Every structure is written in structure tokens, then in C-alpha cells.
A and B are shown apart, each in its own frame.
Chain A
Amino acid sequence: GAVVSQHPSWVICKSGTSVKIECRSLDFQATTMFWYRQFPKQSLMLMATSNEGSKATYEQGVEKDKFLINHASLTLSTLTVTSAHPEDSSFYICSAFTTGVNEKLFFGSGTQLSVL
């Protein structure tokens, strides 16, 4: 089945540093990927839609200059949290979908970010 790989699975960083999270579709091409954020015991909140070869579309309230998204190829999207602060500590999850008859959305394993 389709697999989405997300790396790293967890990261601890100092306040003010930048962190890059990678999301790869391993056995299918994904023109569109989605980035979600989830705080403890809360739901997944869509941050942005990542489109291959074009700018990402951000949801209302998400700072595009703080959460940089690059979708350089059909199998890779990256999310960079710039100048991270403790309030950015969260679980970040990417997803990609396969189209066709068996259309499904697959999630990466998530990245737990802790900013000290």
C-alpha cells in the first residue's frame, strides 16, 4: 500500500532556531500534500496545502513566513519552522493522497517538535 514517510520523528531545539521536517511519498507521486498540526488532546488542524511546483496555500491564521513550505518534487514536501519558539511545540503531521478508484489519504508518522 501507499506509504508516506516523515522525518524526523521527534526533534528538540533551542528557541530561535529553525527546524526542517520532510515528508516523502514512497511509492506514489503526490502533487498535493497537506501539513497538519496537533496539540495534545486536540484535533488535527490543517496548516497549509503544499502544491508541487507552486506556492503553498496557507489556512487562515497560519504565518506563511514562519512556516515555510517547499514542494520541489512529486515525492517530497518540506516544512521549515523558522525561529521556533516554545509555543510552536506541537505534533506536526503531513499527508498525501492517492487518486483514482482507491483514493485514500495517507499520513506520515508525525514529528513531535519540542522547543526549549
Chain B
Amino acid sequence: GQSLEQPSEVTAVEGAIVQINCTYQTSGFYGLSWYQQHDGGAPTFLSYNALDGLEETGRFSSFLSRSDSYGYLLLQELQMKDSASYFCAVRDSSYKLIFGSGTRLLVRP
């Protein structure tokens, strides 16, 4: 089977840095993705890691360690609009995405 674990909620202040961790157990692994979802909206793609290391895209960075079955999403210079749910997801060989339970991020002034 496949499972992904991430914290249910994280709270941070505007301008701060927050890290959302994700650990996974999967029968096949072809990359770790991160998605953002605002209430009532559809998920939007943030980043994808197929290899170990750090991927940076603007204020967002994502890290993967395949040996540890672990990754994280790093959000810098937090803004109020970053308040949303963040999902990690593992892709298998058939391009299916299995999602974690999601982390609800609340950014406070």
C-alpha cells in the first residue's frame, strides 16, 4: 500500500518561513509533488522533485531525500494569501498521484 504523512495544521506569522514535512511509504516512487489548494478551489501545482535535493521556485522550495522517504515544502516571506491547504503527493509509474492528508496553513498578521 501507499501512505503519506504530513502535519494537519501549521500556523505562522506574515513574513516568516514555514516548513511542511511529508514522509511516505509507497510501493513505487516516481517523484514527490506539492499542491496548494484554497478553500473551494482546485489544487494548483507548486513543485515536483524526482531526484534528491532542493528545488527552488520563487518563495517556495521543495526538498526530497529518497533514502529517507522524506520531503518538505519551504515557504519563505509568508503572505496572507499563502493561507491554504498544502498536499504532498507521490507519483507512481502509471502517473497516478496519491495524496497526503493535507496540511492547513494559517498565516497570521
Chain A interface (Cβ within 8 Å of chain B)? 6, 32, 34, 42-46, 49, 93, 95, 97, 103-110, 112
Establish whether residues B87 and A34, one from each chain, have CB atoms under 8 Å apart when the complex forms.
no
Measured in the bound complex, the distance between the Cα atoms of B98 and A92 in whole Å is 15
Closest A residue, CB atoms, query B48: A104
Chain B contacts to A: CB under 8 angstroms:
33, 35, 40-45, 48, 87, 91, 94-102
Q: Give the complex CA separation of A108 and B101 in angstroms.
A: 20
CB-CB under 8 A from B48, the residues of chain A are 103-104
Residues B96 and A43 in contact, CB atoms below 8 Å apart: no
Report yes or no: A104 in contact with B45, Cβ–Cβ below 8 A: yes
Taking a contact as CB atoms under 8 Å apart, the answer to whether A105 and B41 are in contact is: no
**Does A107 lie within 8 Å of B100, measured CB to CB?**
no
Q: Are B97 and A46 in contact (CB under 8 A)?
A: yes
CB–CB B33/A105 < 8 A: yes
Contact A43 B102 (CB under 8 A): yes
Q: Whole-angstrom distance between the alpha carbons of A109 and B44 in the complex?
A: 9
Q: Are A43 and B95 in contact, CB atoms less than 8 angstroms apart?
A: no
How many Å from the CB of A115 to the closest CB on chain B? 18
